Amino acid sequence: MAAKEKIVSREFPEYIRDPNPDVGLDETIKDLKPEQIEKTIMAVLGAQTARIRGIMETCIHCGLCSEACQWYLSSGKDPTFAPVAKMKMTVWEMLKRKGKVDAEFIKQTARIVFTECNICHRCSMYCPYGLDITFIIGLVRRVCFILGVVPQRMMDQDHSHATVLNQVWYTQNDWIDTVQWQEEEVGAEFKNLRIPIDKDGAEVLWFPLGGEPKTNTYHIERTAKLMMAAGVDWTVSGRDTWDTSNMAMFLRDFTTMNRVVRGLYDNAARLRVKKMVLTE
């Protein structure tokens, strides 16, 4: 077997990675136009807001954030995985060139911000100034998202949220059907166990994550058992706004993010519940 060829960055020779083919990055960059890239970058990152300028004008490049990053620690302390290095390779370079970067650079940027950062905010806990590096990485993700350069699976989840408001392409029928099926299943073990749908004025409104009705249906059954044992007056939403896993947030797709969260709160208001309980 031949040795695997490595990808070496044009701009940053220290950035060496294994190839990681992804339709979402490799194909989408082919249609990008330079003016489109420039306009997007300047609109998102060039904005004169306190959150962006505060970070850009304060960071002293001390590298103290690096020890916070699990990517840095787990890759033999490779400096290109440090949080500040991710800012250097993406946003500093973009702003230094005033948005005049090519499609290949956007692909490299997308790889860094989507596949080498978990948006965990630990770096801002380690920064002496408390600079929110994750916030900047999130905005770079937004640039990539607007340009459509996003790993395919993440983009698919976002499309699912935009279409049916959950991440697993479940229609409202599928959801109600799954809940009723689980009620039936658990009925074999417990007498009178119900999974109330859209019960007005219940105390607790429970929201699952997308994966629960799709691949881990027993979670619903177990939640019902727990609620019964605890004697909680609970309900689930009968509308299609039941999924709390807001994958659109990880792309900084603000429109879809907003719709998902608004849908959850609308349910609570509609059913006049006291508490919302989420799986996590």
Nearer to other proteins among residue 59 and residue 257 (C-beta): 59
Among 19, 21, 130, 231, binds other proteins (CB under 8 A): 130
Under rule CB under 8 A, residue 72 binds other proteins: yes
Among 37, 44, 45, 66, binds other proteins (CB under 8 A): 66
Under rule CB under 8 A, residue 233 binds other proteins: no
Nearer to other proteins among residue 15 and residue 207 (C-beta): 15
Under rule CB under 8 A, residue 280 binds other proteins: no
Among 18, 57, 189, 280, binds other proteins (CB under 8 A): 57
Distance CA 126, CA 280 (A): 25
Among 20, 26, 74, 128, binds other proteins (CB under 8 A): 128
Under rule CB under 8 A, residue 46 binds other proteins: no
> What is the nearest approach in angstroms of other proteins to the Cβ of residue 170?
30
Among 46, 79, 148, 196, binds other proteins (CB under 8 A): 79
Under rule CB under 8 A, residue 34 binds other proteins: no
Among 67, 156, 174, 183, binds other proteins (CB under 8 A): 67
Nearer to other proteins among residue 90 and residue 235 (C-beta): 90
Which spans of this chain sit near other proteins (rule: CB under 8 A)?
12, 14, 48-51, 53-55, 57-64, 66-68, 72, 77, 79-80, 82, 84-85, 88, 124-132
